[in-house]
Amino acid sequence: MTQSLKMLINAVIFLVVLFVAVPVLIAASGRTDFYFTLTSVALLSIASAGVWLMFYIGRINIGQGAFALIGAYVSAILVTKAGMSFWLTLPLAGLFAALVGVLIGVPILRLKGVYFAMISLVLTQVVSLTALALPITNGAKGITSIPLPDELSVLGVTLIPDFATLENSRLAFYYTACILMVLTFAAMYRLVNSRLGHICRSMQQNEELAASIGINIAYVRVIVFAISSFFGGIGGAMFGSIAQSVYPSTFVVTDSVNFMLNCFLGGLGYVFGPMLGTLVLYFGWDLMFELGRFQLLVYSSVLIMLMLVLPNGLLSLKLPRFAGAGK
């Protein structure tokens, strides 16, 4: 069996599980609340994918929550105040977050990695405080009563129905989030196996050597940071829509740290590491809820042990070849 055929079979199995098996199992169990949980996992994994991309060029981004919050507010403002279709605000939210990423990245990405990481740590709090101060964001009250996504049609053909008319909007959100997640990680896989991906890998290994062969290091860093911010904006915009509200505290510093932990836990060497890491981290925290006041202690200890035992993440246990970053 050829490698391409194996990749295709694995991809088909994954899609069948995601779009067929999971909804069937949830319908059989009657636990429709799982749709919200799995939708959240899908959206958080999209934002985590951006953090993973920064790791891929040797930079630690601890500020992805800032761009998720920016995306959520941009979409909410355009929908509630400008009456724009949600489906149009979704890419605009990502592009605006990317633009902010470029404006921030141009000066700070010239710094050494450790200084960039420390500055990125405060980004989420800065955006949160900005949202508290600006009149258009409605301060601490946030933006509430955000309408459900409207109908998306092209040439009179309805591609996506109005979510408000659906009997189960949670299922619609689940499918939408999963489609976005699949597209995000497919784009990530294509990127790391492209010429830009090879340049990023060379920068991760030795930036001085990469610069010596004519690579504009600062330019590539900014481009990658913009893509990372775009993913954060998309995930945040969709998250605000499903919650139908956004506040300055919707994404906090803890969320930015969790985005980074998702990448560590899944595996920094694998494109699909953030997806698995988000799933395990999200459900792991919920499963330990019964531990009460010892929840955080046990949770942190388990994470530390996993990183010590599996420094290359959970995917290093048994990895389909197509999931490798450079394979």
Phi, psi of 268 (to 5 degrees): -70, -20
The percentage of residues in the chain with a pLDDT greater than 90, rounded to a whole number, is 65
| pLDDT tens digit sequence for 205-216 | 888 888 888 889
Query: What share of residues in the chain are helix, strand, coil (percent, to 5)?
Result: 75, 5, 20
What integer pLDDT is reported at residue 327 of this predicted model?
A: 46
What integer pLDDT is reported at residue 246 of this predicted model?
A: 96
Q: Are 191 and 224 in contact (CB under 8 A)?
A: no
What integer pLDDT is reported at residue 322 of this predicted model?
A: 46
- What average pLDDT does this structure show over 89-98? 97
What integer pLDDT is reported at residue 318 of this predicted model?
A: 62
Count of residues making up the chain: 327
Query: Cα separation of 297 and 313, whole Å?
Result: 21
Q: Are 54 and 265 in contact (CB under 8 A)?
A: no
Give residue 4's pLDDT band: very low, low, confident or very high (50, 70, 90). Answer: confident
Instruction: Flag whether pLDDT at 80 surpasses 90.
Output: yes
Phi, psi of 95 (to 5 degrees): -65, -40
69-83, 266-280, 284-298, 299-313: least confidently modelled range: 284-298
Query: Cα separation of 287 and 289, whole Å?
Result: 6
Give residue 321's pLDDT band: very low, low, confident or very high (50, 70, 90). Answer: very low
Query: Cβ-count burial of 297 within 10 angstroms (0-12 exposed, 13-18 middle, 19+ buried)?
Result: exposed
Query: Cα separation of 274 and 42, whole Å?
Result: 10
- What average pLDDT does this structure show over 230-252? 95
What integer pLDDT is reported at residue 66 of this predicted model?
A: 97
